[in-house]
Amino acid sequence: MSSRLTVPDASRLINRRVILKASAAFAAMAALRRSEDFTATAQPSPGEVRAGKWIESTDTGGYAPGEERVFQADFPFLAIAPHWGASGDPQAQVEFSVSPDGQQWSDPIVVGVEDHDAGPPDRDGRHFCRLCLLDQPAVAVRYRVYDGTGGPTTLPELAFTYLDATDGPTTQDLFSAAQDLPPFGPPPIISRAAWGANERYRHEDQDSRKPIAWPPSYQLVEHIIIHHTETPTNQDPMVAIRSIYYYHAVERGWGDIGYNYIVDRFGNIYEGRYGGENVIGGHAYEYAYGSAGISVIGSYQREPPSEDALSGLIAITAWAGRYLDPFGSAPFHGSSAFPSIGAHRDANPTACPGDAFYALLPDIREAVAAVIASQPDPPSNPSFLIGNAVQTAIDGANLRSGPGLDFTILSEVPYGRSFQVVDGPFENDGYEWYRVTGDPGPGWFASSVIAKASGGSSPRFPPGTTVAVNTDILNQRVAPSLYSSVMGQLFTGETGTVLGGPLRRDGRNWYWVRTRLGRGWCDGEYLTDSRPRFATNQIVYVNTDSLRLRTSPSLSAGTIAIMPYNTKLKVKRSPIQAEGFTWYKVNSGKYGTGWCAGEYLRADSSSNSGRFSVGQGVRVVDGPLNLRSSPSTSGSVRAVLADGERLTVTGSPVSADGYTWYPVSNSSYSGWVAGEFLGAV
């Protein structure tokens, strides 16, 4: 009998149904762009992985090399991996079985050292084996160790890490949440928050106050590299992903999971490495630089992935590689002609993603090309642009749950209501459709029922404004989206000139800015107007409860005095941008001369002067905006207000925490908001 592996007919596996599912998922990605639309509904909490470690004693007590040993775990576990000290044999292998009761044992599992691929160096130089996921919980382990030639041996500092990642959301939670969504369905990329990623694990020593262990860095995606996790497929996918995440981030010391995306047997697509599109993962050594690593949960040496898994893989491959030629190849690191869509084994000496899966790659490329080709081109002259302020042009305009006449009518909106375009256009049923946000909430309008708003608030940074970066590192992107390619990074205090904007996308206000990197888009939240707010010799006042007067323009500089609210100061020189603040040198008379952050100063002496009067109508112009229980950033959040939401001022303003706070109300709630984010109606 031939021992040749028989691969099922690819034409049966990747059929029209698979491509149609992938096309629908790809279209949903293009329409929704970001997974927060779904995860905000799911409201998951981060999972806490329970981790244990059994360490072999240095005193073997008569234990002979190759002799079988048994140990009991402190709790039932669903994932386990052996590892040993840096001085041990890197060619060694560990054979082990697991048991739910110490009586019945699984078939032996043999593992060797797993390459760390492109992730950071493994913790303490230790040799780590691959993480083995289990179909059912186990409590006992028996094992023996062999050297690189197959002979019995011992290993220094041998240990087994075992994990229980069942705490956190499950796939059933995902399906239950999806049932409550409008018919347009959940976005197909499930965010880290939705699968229960505990972001504390990304920080050194799992302490959120300490630096990120593996800070995101970026390189434009030029290739897709496909993997399998080489694990069972029967475990709940979210439990499996949390296990892999903990093992990569904490136990191996990387600080994050190595894959960019993960696909499960149901076709669900999960966000992997933190940072969005073009973030460099850790999945194929140097080949991870400039590629997206996509891994399908399971082991596919003899059997291929399911139809649903292939649909999800094709959809995310088409999305991540939508600017690539699916059939193309190009020089890439050590390869003279690396395929646009390749596999782990094309880059490194490995069996990944398994023979049965690898045999499908030509058909996967065909399917990806079909998915990309099936998407309609956007209108060449759209009626509206993302960021445009629009208003309903008829009475009773249908706000729908999706871009088409078959989608549910969320509300019938009166004439003249204000909205902002956040996505689109998409053509369907003979109309252009635009996703908007406004007072009734988010939804979709046909272009025939809306028109450009006649008025609107001025942008925070009008064209021509010189702005400065007010955060440590700011990504400048080629397009106004968190998922757009990163041109490069700007640093605290660097300046640029605003050329246009804002455009509202991904919950951010984006500005087109010319900097040393060229022309690109920056998140306005991390920009500040670098033009001096206060002139030399101008009188200003402290506009917060207490403000430090420092010896130099730096948060680490010594404190000369702590000045109370309304302290009178005189500006001594032009400002300096540093550490995200605009610093002014001032003289206080009573407290002497020093530096303070201009964001906490105001030009007038009145404690209750303001732009809006009691009874005046206002609207949110730079949301989302927190409605708080008191006039302070420490006040509890009662509601989150969307752009365009209307309110009425109910009292006089109060200055605190660097903002001018107004008491406001509408038919649904009341509270305090920062006036800097309001405009007159």
Inform me whether the pLDDT recorded for 482 exceeds 70: yes
Burial grade of 667 (CB within 10 A; 0-12, 13-18, 19 or more): exposed
Q: Two tokens at 367?
A: 């399917």
Residue type, 278: N
Quote the CA–CA distance of 263 and 252 in Å, as a whole number. Answer: 23
Inform me whether the pLDDT recorded for 463 exceeds 80: no
Q: Two tokens at 308?
A: 């649903």
Structural domains of the chain ordered from first start: 10-42+183-194+207-374 (3.40.80.10), 50-164 (2.60.120), 389-452 (2.30.30.40), 466-529 (2.30.30.40), 539-602 (2.30.30.40), 617-680 (2.30.30.40)
Per-residue pLDDT, 31: 54
Quote the CA–CA distance of 116 and 253 in Å, as a whole number. Answer: 11
Tell me the pairing of strands 189-190 and 269-271: parallel
Quote the CA–CA distance of 436 and 423 in Å, as a whole number. Answer: 7
Q: Return mean pLDDT, the chain.
A: 81
Quote the CA–CA distance of 372 and 322 in Å, as a whole number. Answer: 7
Quote the CA–CA distance of 680 and 201 in Å, as a whole number. Answer: 44
Give me the mean pLDDT over the 236-241 stretch.
90
Q: Two tokens at 659?
A: 């903002």
Per-residue pLDDT, 388: 76
Task: Count CA atoms within 13 Å of residue 11 on its CB side.
Answer: 0
Per-residue pLDDT, 185: 34
Quote the CA–CA distance of 249 and 334 in Å, as a whole number. Answer: 28
* Burial 499-520, CB ≥16 within 10 A → b, else e: ebbbbbbbebbbbbbebebeeb
Per-residue pLDDT, 389: 79
Give me the mean pLDDT over the 427-442 stretch.
79
DSSP state of 3: -
Residue type, 209: R
Quote the CA–CA distance of 7 and 18 in Å, as a whole number. Answer: 18
Per-residue pLDDT, 376: 61
Indicate the pTM of the whole model. 0.56
pLDDT band at 90 (very low <50, low <70, confident <90, very high): very high
Instruction: Look at phi and psi of residue 165 and say left if phi exceeds 0, alpha if psi is from -120 to 50, else beta.
Output: alpha
Inform me whether the pLDDT recorded for 378 exceeds 80: no
Per-residue pLDDT, 62: 53
Contact between residue 445 and residue 431 where contact means Cβ atoms under 8 Å apart: no
Q: Two tokens at 135?
A: 């179909």
Tell me the pairing of strands 291-296 and 261-263: parallel
Quote the CA–CA distance of 28 and 528 in Å, as a whole number. Answer: 35
Q: Two tokens at 413?
A: 């909106």
Give me the mean pLDDT over the 298-321 stretch.
90
Per-residue pLDDT, 42: 39
pLDDT band at 91 (very low <50, low <70, confident <90, very high): very high
Per-residue pLDDT, 650: 82
- Between the two ends of the chain, the Cα-to-Cα distance in Å is 82
Among the residue ranges 8-12, 96-100, 322-326, the one predicted with the least confidence is: 8-12
Per-residue pLDDT, 489: 87
Q: Two tokens at 250?
A: 């904490």
Per-residue pLDDT, 34: 35
- In the numeric block, the tokens 């008829």 are attached to 394
Burial grade of 652 (CB within 10 A; 0-12, 13-18, 19 or more): middle
Per-residue pLDDT, 425: 80
Q: What angle is formed at CA 567 by the lines to CA 564 and CA 570, rounded to 5 degrees? A: 140
* CA 492 remoteness from chain centre: 22
Per-residue pLDDT, 478: 80
Per-residue pLDDT, 163: 94
Per-residue pLDDT, 8: 40
Nearest to 483, CA basis, from 278, 268, 190 = 278
Tell me the DSSP string of 62-92.
TPPTT--EEEEEEEEEEEEEEEE-TTS-TT-
pLDDT band at 184 (very low <50, low <70, confident <90, very high): very low
The more confidently predicted of residues 665 and 84 is: 84
Quote the CA–CA distance of 130 and 228 in Å, as a whole number. Answer: 12
The more confidently predicted of residues 168 and 38 is: 168
Quote the CA–CA distance of 555 and 560 in Å, as a whole number. Answer: 13
Q: Helix or strand or coil: residue 283?
A: coil
Q: Two tokens at 417?
A: 């209501």
Task: Count CA atoms within 13 Å of residue 558 on its CB side.
Answer: 3
- The fraction of the chain above a pLDDT of 90, given in percent, is 27
Per-residue pLDDT, 359: 94
pLDDT band at 79 (very low <50, low <70, confident <90, very high): very high
Residue type, 451: A
Per-residue pLDDT, 441: 73
Quote the CA–CA distance of 399 and 661 in Å, as a whole number. Answer: 33
C-beta contacts of 3-11 below 8 A and 24+ residues apart: 5/302, 5/355, 5/356, 7/304, 7/355, 7/356, 7/359, 7/360, 8/304, 8/356, 10/359, 10/360, 10/362, 10/363, 11/363
Give me the mean pLDDT over the 282-290 stretch.
88
Element (H, E) at 318: helix 307-320
pLDDT tens string 201-235: 998 888 878 888 898 888 888 899 999 988 877 78
Inform me whether the pLDDT recorded for 148 exceeds 50: yes
Inform me whether the pLDDT recorded for 593 exceeds 80: yes
Nearest to 610, CA basis, from 665, 565, 543 = 543
Contact between residue 470 and residue 492 where contact means Cβ atoms under 8 Å apart: yes
Per-residue pLDDT, 492: 77
Dihedral, 189, 191, 194, 200 alpha carbons, nearest 10: 160
Beta bridge partners of 161: 53, 81
* CA 629 remoteness from chain centre: 30
Per-residue pLDDT, 1: 28
Inform me whether the pLDDT recorded for 371 exceeds 90: no
Inform me whether the pLDDT recorded for 25 exceeds 60: yes
Among the residue ranges 9-18, 245-254, 331-340, 532-541, the one predicted with the least confidence is: 9-18
Per-residue pLDDT, 640: 80
Q: Two tokens at 640?
A: 């989150």
Inform me whether the pLDDT recorded for 197 exceeds 80: yes
Per-residue pLDDT, 24: 65
pLDDT band at 2 (very low <50, low <70, confident <90, very high): very low
- In the numeric block, the tokens 């995860």 are attached to 39
